[in-house]
Amino acid sequence: MTGTPRPDWTPDPPIVQLIDVHKSFGTVEVLKGISLDVKKGEVICIIGPSGSG
């Protein structure tokens, strides 16, 4: 087995896709250009510098 994908195989598309997301609370920008794909079965957390999320 070589580990090479079959030519007819295509990966599942993400179930959630974020592109260049920004979020502010007043003048405090907390998300700055976040992009990510979440695939089926994945769990994603966004954790800030203080450890909160």
Contact of 38 with 16, CB cutoff 8 Å = yes
> Which residues of the chain fall below pLDDT 70?
1-2, 5, 53
d(Cα 43, Cα 38) in Å, to the nearest integer?
A: 8
pTM for the model stands at 0.59
Tokens representing 16?
């959630």
Query: Looking at residue 1, what is its pLDDT?
Result: 55
Query: Looking at residue 23, what is its pLDDT?
Result: 93
Q: In terms of Cα–Cα distance, which of 3, 6, 8, 14 is closest to 37?
A: 14
pLDDT tens digit sequence for 18-30 = 999 999 999 999 8
